[in-house]
Amino acid sequence: MMRELADNIMDIAQNSISAGAKLTQVLVRIDHKANLITLQFTDDGCGMSAEMVSSVTEPFTTTRKTRKVGLGLPLLQQTAMMTGGDLSIESEVGKGTQVTATFGLDHIDRPPLGDVSGAWFSLVVMNPDTDFLFEYDYDGNVFTFDTRMIRETVAPLPLNAPEISDWIRECIYQ
């Protein structure tokens, strides 16, 4: 189990980038009425076959050629299930993947949410050529951050240019 759900956000979003995603969407939803935290990742990467989807939550399953270890999705699934939640994966080769994890909000075994803003900021500055759509929904109050809009405004500067990344940090941490 990872120490914070923000660590899972970093890990699964990096999987999307490794799968060739040009756009990675990350939703964090906190719903007190339903007593749930939902993390949802949607990408336009290479996608997975049905066979891979069925085995990807088994420890050590990976598509990587460099390291033959893949624990991100199995750990996310284990954490979700320990809190009364679940994990679902939908994917189509050539179209992309959607991973949805739910967690019991008030479950004693749920890790803290952690520094979600820091995870989002790190993803943007470490991957300046990837677009991200971040959405944080707290009981229906929604904050949205879309790098495509920022990219249009600041072009030709990259998103990790110091003056741009400082502004992005301020915006995300508001």
The domain that holds 131 is classified in CATH as 3.30.565.10
pLDDT tens by residue, 106-116: 999 999 999 99
- Structural domain span for residue 88: 5-168
- Look at residue 174 and tell me if it is in a domain: no
> Residue 146 — very low, low, confident or very high, per pLDDT cuts 50/70/90?
very high
- Domain assignment present for residue 173? The answer is no
Long-range pairs for 51-57 at CB < 8 Å and ≥24 separation? 52/91, 53/89, 53/90, 53/91, 56/89, 57/87, 57/89
Question: How far apart, in whole angstroms, are the C-alpha atoms of residue 137 and residue 134?
Answer: 10
pLDDT digits (tens, 9 = 90+) for 47-96: 999 999 998 888 765 554 554 456 789 999 999 999 999 999 999 999 99
pLDDT at 67: 45
Residues 6+ positions from 150 with CB-CB distance below 8 Å:
159, 164, 168
**Mean pLDDT score across all residues of the chain:** 93
Label residue 24 by pLDDT band (50, 70, 90).
Answer: very high
Which two three-digit tokens encode residue 38? 């939902």
Domains of the chain: total = 1
